């Protein structure tokens, strides 16, 4: 009998109100964290360059960023669980495992699956938050209903508009869309600098300067309208009272709830 592959359809319980806490026991670990955050900053700049180029379709810039994030989650799954990460994540979701490796793998696998879904599914906001503390950092993978926050920059793709405009109206809409993309590119390029300021290199800063840092970002799409947002977040110095020896799942912090209250439109739901 041939083996039948089980289709994964997501599990909202895996991500909901949870984050991954990872220790930073020494400067080598801090350097790796810094390098990863600089990769995020570099990705912001690449997206800005693509948006500013009128010859590159907006959707290509959008999908390139999504694929980059999804690939980072895939690498994280492999680092935690090896090449069988999908099987381990599925076993955890079915209740056949209840261990730390299974929980972490399921968390990142759920993030990977949702990022892959976002390429074709609109009106779902990617809303992560990353926080640095003296001895650790946390990554909270969040998704919310809707396509924007109260502080997002909006830009349009005329190729995805369903409106049928004639003559000068079509040309005006096209030019206005290109202008919105250019404005968004400038905003996104500035956010790369925020990331670099929040997570400085251990070789170029004192411990006091780098022991706290944080960002939250958001990206979404609804039809031809795309959105982007990134801002600083002040970590709560009293969030953790005990050290951590290895990556583990923890409850989200007050910082996550605060950013939801401040940034999500009324009626939006964290998924």
61-95: pLDDT as tens digits: 988 998 999 999 999 999 999 999 999 999 999 99
What are 136's two structure tokens?
A: 């650790």
Of the two residues 161 and 157, the one the predictor is more confident about is: 157
Give the DSSP letter of residue 55. Answer: T
Write down the pLDDT at residue 9: 59
What are 133's two structure tokens?
A: 């503390």
Four-residue CA torsion sign, 29, 33, 34, 35:
positive
What are 27's two structure tokens?
A: 């400067």
Q: Give the whole-angstrom CA distance, residue 35 versus residue 146.
A: 32
- Each residue of 196-216: pLDDT tens digit? 999 999 999 999 999 999 999
Whether the Cβ atoms of residue 172 and residue 156 lie closer than 8 Å to each other: no
Of the two residues 149 and 122, the one the predictor is more confident about is: 149
Q: What is the rounded average pLDDT for all residues in the chain?
A: 91
Indicate whether 3 pLDDT > 60. no
Indicate whether 1 pLDDT > 50. no
Query: pLDDT tier at 118 (50, 70, 90 boundaries)?
Result: confident
Write down the pLDDT at residue 158: 83
For residue 175, the SS3 value is: helix
Q: What percent of the chain clears pLDDT 70, i.e. is strictly above it?
A: 93
Whether the Cβ atoms of residue 34 and residue 199 lie closer than 8 Å to each other: yes
For residue 191, the SS3 value is: helix
């Amino acid at each position: 009998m041939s083996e039948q592959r089980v289709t994964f359809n997501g599990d909202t319980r895996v991500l909901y109100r949870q984050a991954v806490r990872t220790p930073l026991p020494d400067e080598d670990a801090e350097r790796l964290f810094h390098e990863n955050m600089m990769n995020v900053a570099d990705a912001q700049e690449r997206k800005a360059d693509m948006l500013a180029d009128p010859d590159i379709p907006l959707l290509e810039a959008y999908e390139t960023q999504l694929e980059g994030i999804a690939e980072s989650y895939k690498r994280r799954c492999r680092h935690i669980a090896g090449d069988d990460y999908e099987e381990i994540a599925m076993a955890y979701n079915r209740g056949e495992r209840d261990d730390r490796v299974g929980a972490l793998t399921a968390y990142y696998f759920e993030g990977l699956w949702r990022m892959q879904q976002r390429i074709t599914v609109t009106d779902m906001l990617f809303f992560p938050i990353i926080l640095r503390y003296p001895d650790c950092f946390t990554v909270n993978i969040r998704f919310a209903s809707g396509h924007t926050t109260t502080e997002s920059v909006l830009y349009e793709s005329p190729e995805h508009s369903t409106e049928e405009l004639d003559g000068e109206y079509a040309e005006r809409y096209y030019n206005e869309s290109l202008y919105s993309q250019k404005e968004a590119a400038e905003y996104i390029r500035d956010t790369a600098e925020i990331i670099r300021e929040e997570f400085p290199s251990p070789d170029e800063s004192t411990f006091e300067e780098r022991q706290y840092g944080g960002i939250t970002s958001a990206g979404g799409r609804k039809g031809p309208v795309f959105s982007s947002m990134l801002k600083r977040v002040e970590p709560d110095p009293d969030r953790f009272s005990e050290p951590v020896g290895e990556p583990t799942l923890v409850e989200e912090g007050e910082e996550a709830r605060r950013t939801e209250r401040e940034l999500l439109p009324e009626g939006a739901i964290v998924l």
